[in-house]
Structure 1
Amino acid sequence: MAHPRSFLAPLSRITAPSIASARPTLTQLAALPLHQTSIRCKTTKAPDAKKRKARKHYLQSDLKKADQFSLIDAMHYIRAFEVGRTPTSSKYEVHVRFRTLKNGPSVRNRLRLPHPVKTDLRICVIAPPGSKAAADARAAGASLVGEDEVFAQIKEGNIDFDRCICHMDSLQKMNKAALGRILGPKGLMPSTKTGTVVTNVGATVKSMVGASEYRERDAVVRLAVGQLGFTPEEMQTNIKAFMETLKKDIARLNGTPKEIHEVVLSSTNSPGFTLNGDFKGPDSVSARALSGPL
């Protein structure tokens, strides 16, 4: 039997360098510099590429591709959307769209329609307490009259009115109260420009009670022109009066380019129908059929 040293002798000849050389060699990757590892993508632009210019005018739809309706046809379809509702619960509304500049002046006015639309308009009057102007405001139907009490209520966030006018004697006191930040964004801040800072409060309140106020927003003016119980003839009279007033408003803008592009009739619960300017079409129902209950 061989001695154990005879087996160990060959193993002793294997040195550390020989073991290291027997291991599989692994290729070491040199650390790449940081600027070589980043991937840079450069977009090439055409030499004649131009920056897109901001649009100066409001984008309007092509009416040649839109369906247009006579007044009676539009009322006929709208009443179908309002079936089951009382004639006084919903209102007809006209939307007038302009071709105009984005940064141009806007149309704003107040109109007393030939056939007023019944509304529960709440009017606030800023006038000296106990004065003749305050008494005239209450007699004309104002729901809130005063100065300090009105200022405190507005600052507390209790704005329970739809219109606000100011007597000339209270203008300085109203400006000191700094109500512009509260009433301004809501379109309720009285000013001489909008005709809501006046000397004859009683007459102004009376005209507001039976009048409708409209204002252009994003090249569109909206106004309630009737209730569902109105006849087509009453609607035609109100729309005609509204359009004539709008044309006068545009003429007062000192040559600013603004044109009527589209007139749309809708109601509280119906979509809009573009009007073509005709009262009745060849296949329209009779006007009497649209004058009764829904």
Structure 2
Amino acid sequence: MAIGKRLKAAYEGIDRDKFYNLTDAVQTIKSRAVAKFDETIEIAMILGVDPRHADQMVRGVVELPHGTGKTVRVAVFAKGDKAEEARKAGADIVGEQDLFEIVNGGKMDFDRCIATPDMMGLVGRLGKVLGPRGLMPNPKLGTVTPNVAEAVRAAKAGQVQFRVEKAGIVHAGIGKASFSEEKLADNVKAFVDAINKAKPQGAKGTYLKKVSLSSTMGPGLKLDVASIGA
């Protein structure tokens, strides 16, 4: 019953048909994020693309100016000096054959997987395990790189990977309810800017069709795209 009442209160005064400017949307969502934990603020975007076509795929990474507020556990496939660099940069798990066996056994206690290029022969054999979870290292996303220290730091600092789903939807966590309104707005702008820059050549018509913002337990609000500066 308490959950029902809380949801009812969260939706009170919300106009589901209105397009909110960014400032009002952030303010409204923050004021209604009253769960007993620090709710994640999430963005969802419907894009005018059909990702079944290779020239309409939207994928990339963005470093949010204020991070995500989430603790990211990072695994790195590396050996020798590169393994030591990864550890010093703050990687949570570092290994080669030993890490392969752990992951292949189904244990994945991490959120991001990074590999040095010389490890991809080994890591490539984990495609069926890492791929479905979106954890497969990829050069285009900066997760296959000789500069493992920088990749680890970027992941820890709140770098967000994005990839459009079948229905043309991209979504991501862009902060926490405890963030200031200014920081959340900055992160939204940075994420939308990254999506705009990732616009594929094959996209036709309106690219940013719909953008909405919500908190983990709260209502979703439609955003006026013009107010984001997109």
Aligned-partner SS, 1:197: coil
Of the three residues 140, 147, 155, the one matched with 2:96 is: 147
Does the 8 Å CA contact 2:68/2:173 hold for their aligned counterparts? yes
Instruction: Give the structure-1-normalised TM-score.
Output: 0.65
Please point out which of 25, 30, 54 is paired with 1:74: 25
Alpha-carbon distance in 2 for matches of 1:236, 1:192: 30
For residue 223 of structure 1, report the CA deviation from its aligned partner: 1.9
**1:117 aligned partner:** 68
Deviation for aligned residue 1:134: 0.1
Structure (1 or 2) with the larger CA radius of gyration: 1
Relative contact order higher in (CA < 8 Å, ≥ 6 apart): 2
The amino acid across from 2:67 in the alignment is P
How far, CA to CA, are the matches of 2:49 and 2:58 in structure 1?
A: 11
From 229, 233, 247, the counterpart of 2:196: 247
4+ residue stretches of structure 1 with deviation over 6 A?
Answer: none
- Residue by residue over 1:39-68, the C-alpha shift from the partner in whole angstroms, topping out at 9 and shown as x without a partner, is xxxxxxxxxxxxxxxxxxxxxxxxxx9321
Q: What do residues 235-270 of structure 1 show as CA deviations (whole Å, max 9, x unaligned)?
A: 2222111111111111xx234337001110101101
What does residue 152 of structure 2 align with? 205
Structure 2 CA distance for aligned equivalents of residues 248 and 240 of structure 1: 12
Q: Does residue 126 of structure 1 match 2:77? A: yes
More helix by share: 2
Alignment correspondent of 1:184: 131
Count matched residues.
207
Indicate conservation of the 8 Å contact 1:71/1:232, yes or no. no
What is residue 108 of structure 1 aligned with on the other side? 59
Shift of 1:198: 0.9
Answering whether residue 219 of structure 2 is matched by residue 271 of structure 1, we say yes
1:196 counterpart (124, 143, 148)? 143
Kindly state the Cα deviation for residue 85 of structure 1 after the two structures are TM-superposed: 3.5
- CA apart distance, 1:91: 1.8
Return 5+ residue gaps in structure 2 as ranges.
1-15
Percent sequence identity over matched residues?
32
Give the 3 Å change call, closer, same or farther, for CA 75–205 of structure 1 in structure 2.
same
User: CA contact under 8 A between 1:192 and 1:198: conserved in structure 2?
Assistant: yes
